Amino acid sequence: MHYIARLLAATQLSLLAACSHLEQIVSSESTDDSTPASEAGTQTGAPESSSSVDVDQLAMQETTDNDQTLSEITRAEAHSDSQHAGEQYHNGQYLNGRDESAGILITPSDPAIARDPAELIPKKDVWNRMRASFKLDMELTNPRIESQLNWYAKHQSYLDRTFERSSLYMYHIVSEAERRGLPMELALLPVVESAFDPFAYSHGRAAGIWQFIPGTGKHYGLRQTWWYDGRRDIVASTEAAFNYLSDMAKYFKGDWLLALASYNSGAGTVQRAIRKNKARGKPTDFWNLDLPRETRAYVPKLLAIAKLVYKPEQYGVTLFPIDDKPYFDVVQLESQIDLSQAARLAKIDVDDLYILNPGYNQWATDPLGPHRLVLPIDRVEDFKKAYAELPKEQRVNWTRYRVKAGDSLISIAKKFKTTPQVVKDVNRIRGSLIRQGQQLLIPSSYEGADYYALSADNRLESKQSKVTGAAGTTRIEYTVKSGDTLWDISRAYHVNVRKLAKWNGMAPGDVLSPGKKLVVWTKVNLAKSTTSPTPTTSAFSNREIIRKVGYRVRQGDSLYLIANKFNVSVNDLVKWNSINKSSILRPGQRLSIYVDVTEIN
């Protein structure tokens, strides 16, 4: 089996002993700022320019990007209910090898892991090259760093899986950091962000190995369309992440710890903490700032990983061997190509192609670009030769379709797994009017939908098929209607909105498309209902007056006062925002409130 294909092997590594220990960690350190269980990877908005950074603009973007029930800077706290006893949740996946974003096992099954990896490390490996360019203080000690070090050092199997996944991408990331003269520790940031899972997707809507949220990704040139998500593109997202980190370092005058904190919680959050300390005459270095809990653990996590890489023998760990040579190369294309065709030309499995090109959501590359593929370096020449010989019209399959009564561009595009804009562009249609009997040329896939196992739709279907509900619940499928939201549907079926999102590989604030199939595990007795509960026939018969309101906490506010102001209950406020009744509200904190706009006080 090809090396990449092994990353898809459904081999579940046993972590029963580790899980028992982790349960104690979660229980005993639930209030510890440095607990490794907190999820990292939150990002906030930042300007696209790499020459200057406007912190006020950043703060504004933080607010704009946040359509979650909690501010993105406190996403780890919102995830506290996802940290299961006996399972360690870490950056979008559980440590038992389950891919939280897709429900697919991508744990490596390489027999080499059973041996001592130190015996396999070549004389010239990427780790030695990395250590030579470390620039942060590897002698720095702090209880928060030690806590993370202890956790990582006790979980060799987790390090093995994470670093084997990284082996496909690490040479490129290290080379890019070296080219820019950046601290090489930054190349390890995806360990903290995503455990190098290219399909990682958090409930805060962060995606890819660098965990960009939508707004920040767009600021740094990462396009996000139905066809393509640049946040998962290994090459594009690495460039964007290093641009972002460089911007932050420049703004904070070369202080990389503050830059890293800003990558996690936003420059505005860090700057406010600095101003607060200055006003009180306190030090303004990272270790003395009053930052969100997640951020207080985030920087120590990276420093801990860097220390393990710097001196693995000191901490009793081994590093998965990664040669200091490129695994892949980027091949430029002329136009859209079916990924099954590309895999055939490169003589690799289509799943292998998706692992190297996780940015492509569908069965083909984006017709609007980028027109490129990442391929194993030993397959590049064969691909180029075969690609040059392939007629352009055979790069994707073409179907002639006669418009029928009732057809629309949307329905036709959905039928052929493409977009209305592609249909319009190919057929040179202006506007949205089509006529019955009109002949259309539609690009379509060469293979059936199931062939593209790692497309976005198939990853979602795989996840939906694997999740199970609580005892006493029934699995149903709900078809999204125009105007539906996850919150509406969760209320109609009496389920938690975060659980509903999790069952369907989404974030609570994601926009739903009409026709999308959602899995719901509910206790609603459908057999006794004359009609299935839906957002429009059950709890929300008057949903046209229910609106989501973003509220900024003011000085002196309490949950009771806010609930009274908007005519809602404190329990609802707590549930909508995933906070505790005892939580202390801070001025400027954003809350999401669902209100009847005719009854606001």
Active site residues: 193
> How much is the CA Rg of the chain, to the nearest whole Å?
25
How far, in Å, CA of 245 to CA of 231, rounded? 15
How far, in Å, CA of 189 to CA of 200, rounded? 14
- Six-digit token pair at 532? 């299935």
Strands 397-402 and 439-444: antiparallel
Q: CA dihedral in degrees (246, 251, 255, 260; nearest 10)?
A: -60
- Six-digit token pair at 547? 């609106």
What angle separates helix 55-65 from helix 267-279, to the nearest 10 degrees? 120
Contact present, 436 and 446 (Cβ < 8 Å)? no
For 259, phi and psi rounded to 5 degrees?
Answer: -65, -40
How far, in Å, CA of 323 to CA of 130, rounded? 12
For 177, phi and psi rounded to 5 degrees?
Answer: -65, -40
Contact present, 69 and 133 (Cβ < 8 Å)? no
510-to-485, 490, 498, 529 alpha-carbon distances in Å = 8, 13, 11, 29
How far, in Å, CA of 550 to CA of 558, rounded? 16
- 4-18 exposure pattern, b = at least 16 Cβ within 10 A, e = fewer: bebbbeeeebebeeb
